Amino acid sequence: MELKLMIQMVRKRLWLIVAFVVICTAGTGLYSRYMITPAYEATSTLIVNKMNMDQMGARGLDINEITSNIMLINSYKVIITSAAILDKVVQQHPDLQASSQDLADNLQVITAQNSQVITLKIRDASYDHAMNIVNSVSQVFQKEIPRIMKVDNISILDTAKPQKHPVPVSPKLKINMAIAFAASFLLVVGIVLLLEHLDDTIKNEYDVERYLELTTLGAIRKMNKRDLRTRTSARTKNQAGENYAPLSQ
């Protein structure tokens, strides 16, 4: 019975639920499409391995050296975002028009577990600007790491390439609208149920039996103005027909 009542409550204010969800979802879509500045992402990858291919062929894979390189990656992650690298990037590439703090805030350094690959990602409102930043950071880091760590084991595996039609990574219109739909639906249903719970007026015979513990003997159906006009018009026609009925011979 409680579930039935909840369904009735929702159906009673269904127009409010639909209107609220549609407005919130459409508003989120319009805001994401026209108000949020698109962000583009550029990626560059580095590999930690100081042996070249000839040395690897002659000596074979050195597991201890690979393990040592993997252990160094955590240190490299900190060094990449440090002032020692980013200040050099700003000095050597003034065309980037960014401070070292801006670079540190936007630069993402990603590594996979037990992997020698380091991925650098930059998000910016311009793809070309993001591409120039991530490639510059990669190049400066590769040049500076021998001076800092006294070891030359960084190679650039891949750089960000120019794109004619870059695709923004944010905002994600469909995901934002889906989240807005779900959140607005749950919110408005919760509000409707709360309003119904706080409403202590008696609306039907079930409320009379439930709250007053009385048995209902009858009910008066609610009439709207259209029903009233229809009944009045029908009664008038019946009366007119009776007044003008022909006399029988």
Residue 79 to residues 84, 93, 149, Cα–Cα distance (Å): 7, 19, 10
**pLDDT over 60 at 249, yes or no:** no
138-153 per-position pLDDT tens digit: 999 999 988 888 878 8
pTM recorded for the entire structure: 0.66
pLDDT of residue 113: 79
Q: Is 44 helix (H, G, I), strand (E, B) or coil?
A: strand
Percentage of the chain surpassing pLDDT 90? 37
43-88 per-position pLDDT tens digit: 999 988 754 444 444 444 566 666 776 777 888 888 999 988 999 9
pLDDT of residue 57: 47
Place of tokens 């039935």: 4
Report the alpha-carbon distance of residue 69 to residue 73 in Å, rounded: 7
And the tokens for 84? 């020692």
